[in-house]
Amino acid sequence: MAYDEDTAIVLWPEYFDRDRTRAAGRRMPKDLCVSKPRLDIMAKGAMILDREYRVHEEMCYPGNWTARGGCIKVEKGKLSKTEIMRSIGETLVANS
């Protein structure tokens, strides 16, 4: 499946930040999170899933618009966003 910017899902590092609360943007359980998640390792998780992705380093998380942490946009395909996030969380934990 080809990468389509319109249907790609956006994954912010804040989703995987162990130091954040759920109210502050964390979306995964703490056992799938790390302190200060990095975009390059998140991209590695997308590669492991064999998904096309784009890294956008200049973008800001809407809940923390003063910090430019960036994000990755991942081709969705037949997997749900939750399945993709879980796999990327596992990759972050394994590489931290």
Domains of the chain listed by start with CATH number: 9-94 (3.30.56.30)
Band of residue 94 on the pLDDT scale cut at 50, 70, 90: very high
- The dihedral over CA atoms of 82, 36, 42, 23, expressed in degrees to the nearest 10, equals 20
Q: In Å, how far are 37, 49, 76 from 5, measured between CA atoms?
A: 23, 18, 10
Looking at residue 76, its pLDDT comes to 87
pTM of the model: 0.91
CA angle (56 as vertex; 50, 57 as ends), nearest 5: 125
User: How far apart, in whole angstroms, are the C-alpha atoms of residue 84 and residue 10?
Assistant: 11
Res 1: pLDDT: 59
For 5-37, how does the pLDDT look when each residue is reduced to its tens digit (9 = 90+)? 888 999 999 999 999 999 999 999 999 999 999
Identity of the amino acid at 94? A
